[in-house]
Amino acid sequence: MRRYETIFIADNDLSEEDRSPIFEKIKDLIQQYSGLMVMVDEWGGKKLAYEIKKKARGYYVRLDYCGSGVLVNEIERFFRIDDRILKYMTVLLDKDVDIEAVKEEIATAEGTRADETESSEAEPKPEAEPETDAKPEPDAEPEPESNADDESKPETLENK
């Protein structure tokens, strides 16, 4: 089994309800073709470098999954047919993946997220220190280096 990463840009004008069927269809395809979804990373709405289908903004999503080439072909076919998808790109991350290691990676990532959520809820946030109007003192400027001979003699044409 191979590991792939697909980044796609959906129409930014879609609401959350309109976007969720896209994710459901992708998850169904991965299950149907005996794949494994590792992660769905939603980057959100961003300005496009150039207009695509007369749209200046897009909703970016990164999919990390394991499967076969047939699965990738089917996902890309779905993206070509669906007008809500502006662009997509699939990259092969690893040719031979150990599924058990990937499942362990998923479990570790979920455990880390759960620990972060629990610790942020359990620990009270420190109160912000009140701002003061006092400004830090500027550093003392170093005195310019000078020769003792130059200071004792006034600069005249005779001394030069």
Cβ(66)–Cβ(1) below 8 Å: yes
CATH number for position 35:
3.30.70.60
Asked whether residue 75 is domain-assigned, the answer is yes
Beta bridge partners of 64: 5, 39
Tokens found for residue 98: 């150990």
Q: Which of the given ranges, 24-28, 114-118, 143-147, has the highest pLDDT on average? A: 24-28
Q: Give which of 72, 89, 83 is closest to 22, Cα–Cα.
A: 83
pLDDT of 128 above 80: no
Asked whether residue 129 is domain-assigned, the answer is no
Asked whether residue 84 is domain-assigned, the answer is yes
Asked whether residue 6 is domain-assigned, the answer is yes
**């779905």: which residue's tokens?**
78
- The Cα–Cα gap between 19 and 63 comes to 15
Q: Would you place residue 153 in the very low, low, confident or very high pLDDT band (cuts 50, 70, 90)?
A: low
**């003699």: which residue's tokens?**
153
Q: Would you place residue 25 in the very low, low, confident or very high pLDDT band (cuts 50, 70, 90)?
A: very high
Alpha helices in the chain (DSSP H): 16-32, 69-81, 99-122, 148-152
Model pTM? 0.65
Asked whether residue 33 is domain-assigned, the answer is yes
Asked whether residue 147 is domain-assigned, the answer is no
Judged by DSSP in three states, 118 sits in helix
Model confidence pLDDT, tens digit, residues 30-75: 999 988 888 888 998 999 999 999 999 999 999 999 998 899 999 9
Chain-centroid distance, C-alpha 154? 66
Model confidence pLDDT, tens digit, residues 90-125: 999 888 877 788 888 778 877 777 667 666 665 555
Asked whether residue 104 is domain-assigned, the answer is no
Cβ(85)–Cβ(22) below 8 Å: yes
Asked whether residue 158 is domain-assigned, the answer is no
Please state the domain count of the chain.
Answer: 1
Residue 81 is predicted with a pLDDT of 94
- Give the domain extent around 26: 2-97
